[in-house]
Structure 1
Amino acid sequence: MPRRTATMLASTLVLIALLCAGVLIKVPYSEMSPGPTVNTLGDANGAPVLQVSGHKTYPTSGNLNMTTVRVTGADYNMNIVEAVYGWLAHDYVVVPHDTLYPDGTTEEQSTQENAEEFSQSQESAKVAALTELHIPVTSRTIVSTVLKKSPAEGKLHAGDVIKAVNGTAVKAPTDVAKLITKKKPGQGVVFTVVPAAKAAAAEKAHKEPTGTEQVDVTTKKSDDGGKARAIVGIQAGTEHTFPFNVDIKLADVGGPSAGLMFSLGIVDKLTPGSLTGGKFLAGTGTIDDQGKVGPIGGIELKVIAARNAGAQYFLTPDENCAAAAKDTPKGLTLVKVKTMADAKKSVDKIRTGDTAGLPSCSAS
């Protein structure tokens, strides 16, 4: 066999061996890529994303798209070839597996956590939107979680409305822990609550929960490594009574990052005229009850998803601006937002064509 032919054959065999090894050798990485976008003003799976009943709504036009990121599953084993391709590709991001699934989180646990965050983001989106429109929303402190094998297990339940602790009225979730820790471990705490079932019935009727009960719980000493204090094993949270029904229907989406776009969609539905003027906007960002917009993950991929869908403007959380501006897709304008009010003002400017003063993102 000629030397040149032998050399080429050997090189080919080595290359094949390396490729086979690359496919077989697994690495502890996961992959993120642009996901689908959904118009909050439109339909998904044959049904409106935003459904309002009990209050007048108005026709909308244009797009207010929320954006998503696809991620590989917790059980997915990436090989070296896939990792290298992801590192080189423009629209993929390869990250350590523990970044997406810390401490051995399973697929089921991750899905559950994302579903809970998505549900909470929906509540906050409703509150922020109605507050922006000066529509009153009543808030109340509830038992959010009861820890297993804790003093409160079997006595307090998730959804119970906490009216008072040891006779002192509760105005916010943070009040609960403060009042409990005034006691010493082993002492009793008296909770004045409206049971979860009564609270749920009142919420369905858009009324304030009534019919309180007294619940006695004996505290125990904390064992979380911090300063010793009295605890009962609950986490307090917030629920709201809305004056009418606002339902958000969107399957197979998790996490809190759609909050801002849901809020804007609700505002558009409840106000005369088109908020967008028929233009195509997309965006992302968490939102809290006060309308503050928070940062999200995967911003570089979400701007790609938005532009691929046809968006011309992208509402970008202030804290994500620098990362998004490093490689903005051509034809997409990033608009910096810090609050719900900021976002609405910017959308108003886009609708009227007064875009010269839009707050922009910079890479620095």
Structure 2
Amino acid sequence: MLSRLTRPQAVAVCAVPVVALLATAALAPLPFSVAQPGTTANVLGADKGTQVITVSGAPVRRTSGQLRMVTIVATGPEATVTLGDVVGNWFRSDRAVMPRDAVYPSGDDVKEIEKYNLAQMDESQHNATQAALKYLGLSAGKVKVDLKLADVGGPSAGLLFTLGIIDKLDGDGSGGDLTGGRTIAGTGTIDPSGKVGAVGGVALKTQAARRDGATVFLVPKAECADAQSELPKGLRLVPVTTVKSAVDALVALEKGKGPVPSC
């Protein structure tokens, strides 16, 4: 025969499965990735001992400033992200909790993801070369551009590759550096016509840029609000929509003449 439980006893008994449920939820894997600011690289210089941009078939000018492409680093598709990880990183300005599908749209297989990202990078480099040569009015049949950047995948360096090629071949169009000697960073995809596209993680990328000395950050115009959300002190945002708008803004900054767009 079962004895009747008092109210405190009943509450205690009921609390056991609730606590167990909460503990299980806290440890259960969730479909998220945790991202943080990654590395940056000066596309006008060398990366791991190899020049990022090599041009043949046309005179190449010496540059003094920097054009830094930026990255974010995220937990891998096979990593376990729990409720505790989500809660612990949600309110950190140097972390972002993102849906795993947004970070790894090609699936969960690591080799397939690497293959996909490298293909995206190859396409980005091809588009950057086409966009730069088209902007300069040069023939791809006469000018050859080779782009190399180790351990980086995806399309988000397209804009910076394009500007790097332009700076090496033409600068600001009058003999000066496109950068004006500054450290310029930025992000954005590029298509062969020179149109700049949006990317992810811009709030984290601005932090990586400022950490590595940038004072100006070129951001796809559609992502101004995201870039402003955690903007580091001392970093100026310049929204762009095309290669021409980016070049015009940088020339205006360099010469101190003409309007410079802002978010």
- Whether the TM-score (by the shorter chain) exceeds 0.5 is yes
- Unaligned segments of structure 1, at least 5 residues: 1-16, 138-241
The answer as to 2:181 corresponding to 1:282 is: no
Q: Distance in 2 between matches of 1:327 and 1:78?
A: 23
CA 1:292–1:104: 2 relative to 1, 3 Å: closer
Q: Deviations over 1:69-110 (max 9, x none)?
A: 111111111233322221121111112323323574312111
Tell me if 1:314 matches 2:213.
Answer: no
> How far apart in 1 are the matches of 2:103 and 2:152?
16
Select which of 221, 241, 256 maps to 1:338.
Answer: 241
Shift of 1:119: 0.3
Distance verdict in 2 for CA 1:119–1:30, change over 3 Å: same
Taking the aligned partners of 1:130 and 1:93, their CA distance within structure 2 comes to 36
What is the rounded CA distance, in whole Å, between the counterparts of 2:151 and 2:241 in structure 1?
A: 27
- Alignment partner of 2:31 out of 3, 28, 33: 28
Q: Is the 8 A contact 1:53 1:244 kept in 2?
A: yes
Q: Which has the higher strand share?
A: 1
Distance in 2 (alpha carbons) for counterparts of 1:104 and 1:126: 29
Would you say 1:71 and 2:86 are equivalent positions? no
State the Cα deviation string for residues 186-205 of structure 1 (Å, max 9, x = none): xxxxxxxxxxxxxxxxxxxx
Report the equivalent of 2:151. Answer: 252
The answer to which of 58-67 and 346-355 deviates more is 346-355
Aligned to 1:264: 163
- By how many angstroms is 1:273 displaced? 3.1
Q: Gaps spanning 5+ residues in structure 2: where?
A: 1-19
C-alpha displacement of 1:353: 2.9
Is 2:254 aligned against 1:351? yes
Larger deviation: 39-48 or 92-101?
A: 92-101
Letter in 2 for 1:331: G
Residue 114 of structure 1: aligned partner: 117
Question: Could you tell me which residue of structure 1 aligns to residue 142 of structure 2?
Answer: 243
* Cα separation, 1, equivalents of 2:213 and 2:107: 38
How does the TM-score come out when normalised to structure 1? 0.62
Query: Higher helix share goes to which structure?
Result: 2
**1:98–1:292 distance in 2 versus 1, CA, 3 Å:** closer
Q: Cα offset for 1:53? A: 1.8
Query: How many residues are paired up?
Result: 240
The yes-or-no answer on 1:61 pairing with 2:47 is no
Q: Distance in 2 between matches of 1:264 and 1:245?
A: 16
Quote the Cα distance in structure 1 between the aligned partners of 2:105 and 2:192: 28
Which protein is bigger by CA-based radius of gyration? 1
Aligned to 1:325: 228
Contact 2:27-2:84 within 8 A present in 1 as well: no
Identity rate of aligned residues, in percent?
44
Q: Deviations over 1:122-142 (max 9, x none)?
A: 0110111111111134xxxxx
Cα pair distance change 1:254/1:104, threshold 3 Å? closer
CA RMSD of aligned residues (A): 2.1
Deviation sequence 1:250-289 (CA, Å, 0-9, x none): 0111111111100110011112432112111100111111
